[in-house]
């Protein structure tokens, strides 16, 4: 497995596995296949595993614990997001990153994971009611106490990154980044690079829309995130799938799949940017891992960007309510 460096976390696998869809938000998933996928990822040398305490309201962390049973915990870097408030039926109720919530959430996560520490702990969003210094200050206390190893951030902008980093060095910013979600580029990425902070890029396939496997007749189930996503609805979806067909031409010239081109493009953007793929089946994981063998030349990168120019996506990456919660979009 190739490696990259993510700020204070140091060396990590060149691709990370995000577990969210194994518990939540993308319709039904198969528990045995999810665990087999995590095992296949570990066997392939993936060390970075990303979860959130609110993914399936604890389900995702308990799934990870089961998958890591009889595996070497110290060979794995577990990244956990916290703060999302959920109701029993799965509704999203808001966000809480007060210092007491940091410590309480951490205590519960450690129990669910069956671990004495978390490698990277991060608020999933900026809590508008809590200064980032207070949230990161509480994580710092937990680092000093040995329960957490590194501070991470998620979907925040340059000013918040600087304020957080001044309290404690940040390992990585987790942010949506793909051929059709390029808000990272410019001030946010420049700030990360200036401060030596890495990037874990999620949604590299834009939740599947640019994977080459989505089609207009594949509607989302009621609790599927994509049933409310502007990029997956109506004319927007048709226009986004046209972009995919342009990518497919390039992929077939290269003898690889559309998803592999999309992942390889993100991977090529820097040694400090690690794509987090949302594979939840071994077949999809194998396809994602194949992207690591795709080395794109400058001409090929230019051809990809001309097929899918910056800003070409139709529709925002979240619905209006969720967009308003993104400090990274301000």
Could you give the residue numbers annotated as active site?
55
Quick one: which of 67, 106, 205, 274 contacts ligand NAP (CB under 6 A)?
205
By CB under 6 A, tell whether 13 contacts ligand NAP.
no
By CB under 6 A, tell whether 237 contacts ligand NAP.
no
Q: Smallest gap, in angstroms, from Cβ of residue 324 to ligand NAP? A: 14
Contact 67, 97 (CB under 8 A): no
Give dist(CA 249, CA 269) in Å, integer: 21
Quick one: which of 276, 292, 296, 325 contacts ligand NAP (CB under 6 A)?
276
Nearest to ligand NAP of 81, 165 (CB atom): 81
Could you give the count of Cα atoms lying within 13 Å of 181 in the half-sphere of its Cβ? 26
Give dist(CA 18, CA 64) in Å, integer: 11
By CB under 6 A, tell whether 61 contacts ligand NAP.
no
Nearest to ligand NAP of 142, 262 (CB atom): 262
Q: Smallest gap, in angstroms, from Cβ of residue 87 to ligand NAP? A: 19
By CB under 6 A, tell whether 112 contacts ligand NAP.
no
Quick one: which of 211, 229, 300, 328 contacts ligand NAP (CB under 6 A)?
211
Nearest to ligand NAP of 147, 225 (CB atom): 225
By CB under 6 A, tell whether 4 contacts ligand NAP.
no
By CB under 6 A, tell whether 278 contacts ligand NAP.
yes
By CB under 6 A, tell whether 50 contacts ligand NAP.
yes
By CB under 6 A, tell whether 184 contacts ligand NAP.
no
By CB under 6 A, tell whether 160 contacts ligand NAP.
no
Quick one: which of 250, 280, 314, 318 contacts ligand NAP (CB under 6 A)?
280
Nearest to ligand NAP of 56, 138 (CB atom): 56
By CB under 6 A, tell whether 18 contacts ligand NAP.
yes
Neighbours of 78 (CB within 10 A): 23
Residue 281, judged by CB atoms within 10 A of its CB (0-12, 13-18, 19+), counts as middle
By CB under 6 A, tell whether 259 contacts ligand NAP.
yes
Virtual torsion, Cα 209, 210, 212, 214, nearest 10 deg: 0
Could you give the count of Cα atoms lying within 13 Å of 294 in the half-sphere of its Cβ? 27
By CB under 6 A, tell whether 240 contacts ligand NAP.
no
Q: Smallest gap, in angstroms, from Cβ of residue 80 to ligand NAP? A: 10
Q: Smallest gap, in angstroms, from Cβ of residue 108 to ligand NAP? A: 18
By CB under 6 A, tell whether 124 contacts ligand NAP.
yes
Nearest to ligand NAP of 146, 240 (CB atom): 240
By CB under 6 A, tell whether 135 contacts ligand NAP.
no
Q: Smallest gap, in angstroms, from Cβ of residue 144 to ligand NAP? A: 25
Quick one: which of 174, 181, 229, 240 contacts ligand NAP (CB under 6 A)?
174
Quick one: which of 8, 288, 300, 328 contacts ligand NAP (CB under 6 A)?
288
Sign of the dihedral through C-alpha 317, 118, 57, 129: negative
């Amino acid at each position: 497995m190739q490696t990259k460096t993510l700020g204070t976390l140091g060396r990590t696998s060149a691709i990370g596995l995000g577990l969210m869809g194994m518990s939540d938000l993308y319709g039904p998933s198969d528990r045995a296949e999810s665990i087999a996928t995590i095992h296949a990822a570990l066997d392939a040398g993936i060390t970075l595993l990303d979860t959130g305490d609110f993914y399936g309201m604890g389900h995702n962390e308990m799934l990870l614990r089961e998958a890591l049973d009889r595996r070497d915990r110290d060979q794995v870097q577990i990244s956990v997001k916290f703060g999302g408030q959920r109701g029993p039926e799965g509704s999203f109720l808001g966000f809480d990153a007060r210092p007491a919530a940091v410590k309480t959430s951490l205590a519960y996560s450690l129990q669910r994971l069956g671990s004495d520490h978390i490698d990277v702990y991060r608020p999933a969003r900026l809590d508008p009611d809590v200064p980032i210094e207070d949230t990161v200050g509480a994580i710092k206390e937990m680092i000093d106490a040995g329960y957490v190893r590194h501070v991470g951030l998620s979907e925040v902008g340059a000013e918040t990154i600087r304020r957080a980093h001044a309290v404690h060095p940040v390992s990585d910013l987790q942010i949506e980044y793909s051929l059709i979600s390029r808000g990272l580029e410019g001030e946010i990425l420049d700030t990360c690079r200036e401060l030596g902070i890495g990037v874990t890029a999620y949604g590299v396939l834009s939740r599947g829309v640019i994977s080459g496997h989505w089609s207009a007749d594949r509607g989302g189930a009621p609790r599927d995130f994509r049933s409310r996503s502007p990029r997956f609805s109506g004319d927007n979806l048709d226009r986004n799938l046209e972009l995919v067909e342009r990518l497919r031409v390039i992929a077939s010239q290269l003898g690889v799949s559309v998803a592999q081109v999309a992942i390889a493009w993100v991977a090529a953007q820097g040694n400090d940017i690690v794509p987090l793929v949302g594979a939840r089946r071994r077949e999809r994981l194998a396809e994602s891992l194949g992207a690591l063998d795709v080395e794109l030349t400058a001409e090929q990168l230019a051809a990809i960007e001309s097929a899918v120019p910056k800003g070409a996506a139709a529709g925002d990456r979240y619905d209006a309510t969720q967009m308003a919660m993104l400090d990274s979009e301000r």
